[in-house]
Amino acid sequence: MGRIHVLESNIVDQIAAGEVIARPASVVKELIENSLDAGAMHIEVLVRDGGKRLIEVRDDGEGIAPNDMPLALASHATSKLLKPDDLFRIGTFGFRGEALASIGSVANVTLTSMVRGAETGRTISMEGGKLGEVRECAAKAGTYAHVENIFFNVPARRKFLKGSSTEIGHIGEAVTRLALAHPGVSFTLYHNDKKVFRAPGADDLRERVGQFFGQKFSENLIPTCEEAGNLRLEALLASPHETRSSNQNQYIYVNNRFLRDRVMLAAIAEAYREFLEPRRHAIVFCFIDMPPGDVDVNVHPTKIEVRYSRPNQIFNFVRGAIRDALQSAGLAVPFNVQRLQKPPQAVEQHTPRQRDIPSLRERMSPAVSGAAPQTGVRTERTDGPPAASEARADEIPPATYESATRQPVSEPEVLPSGDSFLQVHDSFIVVETGGGFEVIDQHALHERIIYEKLRRQHEERAVQSQQLLVPEAVELPPGRAAIALDNDDAFRSFGFDIELFGENTILIRSVPVALRRTEPVGFFRDLLDELVESGAAKGPVDPDKLLATIACKGAIKAGQRLTRGEIIALLTDRVALDDSYACPHGRPTTLSLTLDELKKHFHRR
């Protein structure tokens, strides 16, 4: 007997389910796409335990004809394709005929449907791949899908599902993606019999965005609509001041299909490149229409990636359209240039203290040479240890307009050790040492100092918090509020005080002292994005990850001018650190260069 044999159909379906059905949100996505293909105008989703125990999707679409019910749950049975050429002109979400069969192979599924105008409906069940008989039943026009115990027969897959808050977050995101592409359709989501959100049919994309992300946010979006040949782009673009820590808030659609496409993501990043700070990402709602024959959606099991016949043309078109829209909105000057521009500053006239051998600091000082002050270079000195009234490093405020325009202390300065220091480009501190010099990244070092202080406080359960005079309301996409509340105890241990304020709004009452001068709403959004993206919302928050994020947000920034006391505080607190050569994220804080290395570079030895 040969060793090669044909797999049984239920095994084939389970293999297919492994590619198509990754989590409860995948089931919700497939069922809603079927509803949209059926012309539904009202879609209702109900889930329990994050969809692990129950998923129900009801719609008012055209329904499934009685004669088609036996094939509704069969593998590779579809009404979307009739001949091979149709595969290259796909205009619907579904076309492979494997979604319902894949769901039925790893869950208990009951499908009930009635076509419009009929007196009775039909129902059919599948339990772990075993198909039941079609039965007549009472029903409403449309289709009702009932899915229980996902992955009940695949324990290895079920074990890797996240907590309920994480799974409902993914479900909310799946519904949001589909709802944005269909503003006229009404969507409602329930979790454990509580309404998560209801989005009635909207007149346009801007109104739909307002339903999910807030009316004020949607009103400030920049619209653009461009056409080039057979390409058409319609988009709403957030200002460069509204950014996130990841690109998960870039909603990209090709022919109304949501994608995570490298070509489009690269085009958006390039269009915004001159307007954003490093490692920040724009918020974009971008829709492109093109002939179905110019895009292949049959290259990924979940259809979330595609291939274009002319990717370079699409890249240039999208990049140009978005960049033109940003420039037309008065954003032509790159953000990083605007950020570094400062009002003219008066320079005090002074005579430095004479020394027998001028230090590096004095040799570079404009006052010593008689030259005009150099942009981005300041001199500082002190004849002794910092006074008790001077700020500690962990109390240095983050960058503000006031701190950026303070008058520098222009007299040359030295540390108590006799070593000179200077600030370069308001971002780096150069310190002369006995054997050479060091270049210190002021943000990275301050981040390390704050992190070590917060870590000690957290271990002692004494993280200091600052109550906000006016609580900040954070309006979140569906499902994110549940993730925040699920980690409420952990957030409190880090100095946050949050509470639910409406269906999808979190009220921030207190923040860690390290964040007291930062904008709490933006930080909270970034933190939730990181939790959802990494899957860390299951169970307790990773302490080191959160502490590092808080320290990064609370630290002084590159481009912030520091006073003499602030620089000395940084350098003094640096000495007390066990490890001062890397920030909590692993980036170096210090570049050291010996005098011998410097001489070697200039061929002096």
Span 482-513, pLDDT tens digits: 777 777 777 787 788 888 887 778 888 888 88
- What's the pLDDT at 210? 93
Residue 321's pLDDT is 95
User: Which pLDDT value is given to residue 80?
Assistant: 54
So what's the pLDDT on residue 1? 55
Give the per-residue pLDDT at 552.
85
Buried b (16+ CB within 10 A) or exposed e, 81-106: beeeeeeeebebbbbbbbbbbbbbbb
Phi, psi for residue 47 in degrees, rounded to 5: -130, 155
- Residue type present at position 478: P
In angstroms, the Cα distances linking 25 to 33, 159, 180, 466 are 12, 16, 16, 37
What's the first-to-final CA gap in the chain, in angstroms?
A: 80
Are the C-beta atoms of residues 409 and 563 closer than 8 Å to each other? Answer: yes
- What pTM value is reported for the model? 0.69
**Could you tell me the strand order of the sheet in which 377-380 lies?**
377-380, 421-424, 428-433, 436-441, 590-594
Report the alpha-carbon distance of residue 167 to residue 48 in Å, rounded: 10
Whether 282 contacts 293, CB under 8 Å: no
- Residue 356 neighbours by CB under 8 Å, 6+ apart: none
Cβ within 8 Å of residue 347, ≥6 positions away: 373, 410
**Cα torsion angle, 570, 576, 578, 584, sign:** negative
Residue 13's pLDDT is 56
Positions of the chain with pLDDT lower than 50, given as ranges: 81, 332-391, 398-412, 536-539
Model confidence pLDDT, tens digit, residues 582-601: 888 888 999 998 888 888 88
Q: What is the pLDDT of residue 231?
A: 94
Contact indicator for 197, 504 with CB cutoff of 8 Å? yes
Query: What integer pLDDT is reported at residue 132 of this predicted model?
Result: 85
Alpha-carbon distance 448 to 446, whole Å? 5
How far is 383 from 138, CA to CA, in rounded Å? Answer: 90
Q: What pLDDT, on the 0 to 100 scale, is given for residue 536?
A: 46
Please choose, from the candidates 433, 402, 405, 453, the residue with its C-alpha nearest in 3D space to the C-alpha of residue 571. Answer: 433
All domains in the chain, ordered by first residue: 9-203 (3.30.565.10), 220-339 (3.30.230.10), 360-446+558-601 (3.30.1540.20), 463-554 (3.30.1370.100)
Cα gap 532→302, rounded to integer Å? 19
Distance (Å) of CA 272 to CA 118, 237, 308, 333: 53, 10, 23, 12
Look at residue 467 in the predicted model and tell me its pLDDT: 86
Q: How far is it, in rounded angstroms, from Cα 528 to Cα 508?
A: 13
- The residues pairing with 147 across neighbouring beta strands, listed in sequence order, are 55, 109
